[in-house]
Amino acid sequence: AAVNFVSHDGEKHEAPLEEGQSLMQVAVDNGIPGIDGDCGGEAACGTCHVVVDEQWADTVGGSGPVEEEMLSMTPERQPTSRLSCQMNVTDGWDGLTVHLPEFQM
């Protein structure tokens, strides 16, 4: 089982699906470029911004109020933007694809 991070230039990085972790933690553990997680998962830095692939938007769901506030200040905000530290990985996310905004490269 794996989740996929696609950088702005189209490069795909795969990470193992680690249930119960935040998606940000999975990315950091696996050295995914473009996900820094500077605030440690407090929805306060915006360096874990990902754009959820359209196909996965319903499965993953939308942002919460605190997350939304941070996202509203984030450049390159997209309709399916999420802070990956606020996304708790579950079994059903096998094959999940998220895209990384350009500025995080």
Residues in contact with ligand FES by the rule CB under 6 A = 24, 37-39, 41-48, 70, 83, 85
Min CB(69)–ligand FES separation in Å: 11
- What's the min distance (Å) between Cβ of 86 and ligand FES? 7
For residue 52, the cross-strand partners are: 98
* Nearer to ligand FES among residue 10 and residue 41 (C-beta): 41
* Beta carbon of residue 91, minimum distance to ligand FES (angstroms, whole number): 22
Handedness of CA 86, 45, 42, 35 (dihedral sign): positive
Minimal distance in Å, beta carbon 42 to ligand FES?
6
